[in-house]
Structure 1
């Protein structure tokens, strides 16, 4: 973990092959931290393994942009290759962007990295014509909800968070949107 007093210099750019382990490290920790107490522990672990498997993330890096629905991972990365944060999204139709993931190291929250990542994904989506942006946030997520609200997102819907393995309702997600 990076010291809260020293923010290392970093660049925000598209992820490259070979960075999947670092992306998985950050995203797995972020997902687990933000979901603990909101979703069943076994579901959190299964989802973290499913979504942040290095082989899956490597494929997602190498296929980025082939389909506008997935524009790729954007990373905040230091000169020595340490991923401080990662985000990714796509455009579901001509006007609606979707932010699928955004996580950063816990010790770096509130230092502008999350905003820089969101801005990069937002710009990707604007470049292909998106005029609105959506994100799903687990209801009660005390890390994500204030972040999105501060950036102009508002709650548009509340939907069940369904466990993909047994189709049971494990909690709820808030669908948030904003104009971009």
Structure 2
């Protein structure tokens, strides 16, 4: 499953005990992909909200209970280190969303992100999804080319968050593709 220059890894559903590794790769990936786009305070606040071990453990335990959150999948090395994590869900019967996909920044370009996306896509396809969406911060020069190369198309732009002066803090590109 791994390319020649990637460490040996497998992609599997996350388990209790993976939460610290998931948090580490998600925080690192989010910080790197948000550099210069979001304020450091915003990156820290969102990282603490979404990528803290208690929340991630709860999401591991509740993943797959219903289709709105299908749970985390992780790429783990043979010694068991989390190299990347992804997760998605379904908002209606045929529309899936990729909510998170991050990996160790040092391992970009080695097929791990694609492997994670493929597993989430297969999970969604098995439940009847025919269209998949993802939101990416506008200007994210790491994420946007990744998704464009995998058939996603920019569908719209959404402003989220404002600065103290009322100007937009950031914009999100909503992208989709048929699956």
TM class, shorter-chain normalised?
Answer: over 0.9
| Paired residues, number | 173
1:125 and 2:124 are equivalent in the alignment? yes
Equivalent residue, structure 2, for 1:81: 80
Unaligned runs of 5+ in 2: none
The normalised TM-score by structure 2 is 0.93
| Counterparts of 2:140 and 2:17, CA distance in 1 | 31
**C-alpha RMSD of the superposition:** 1.4
Matched, 1:28 2:4: no
Which residue of structure 1 aligns with residue 17 of structure 2? Answer: 18
In 1, the alpha carbon distance for the partners of 2:71 and 2:17 equals 14
Match of 1:37 in 2: 36
CA-CA distance at 1:81 after TM superposition:
1.3
State the shift of 1:6 in Å: 4.9
Taking structure 1 as reference, are residues 168 and 68 closer, same or farther at Cα in structure 2, changes over 3 Å only?
farther
C-alpha separation between the residues in 2 aligned to 1:141 and 1:6? 25
Query: Aligned equivalents of 1:153 and 1:105: distance in 2?
Result: 23
Residue aligned with 1:141, SS: coil
| 1:52 corresponds to | 51
| TM-score, normalised relative to structure 1 | 0.93
SS at match of 1:74: strand
8 Å contact kept, 2:5–2:110 = no
1:77-116 equivalence runs, <5 A: 77-116=76-115
Distance in 1, Cα, partners of 2:104 & 2:126: 28
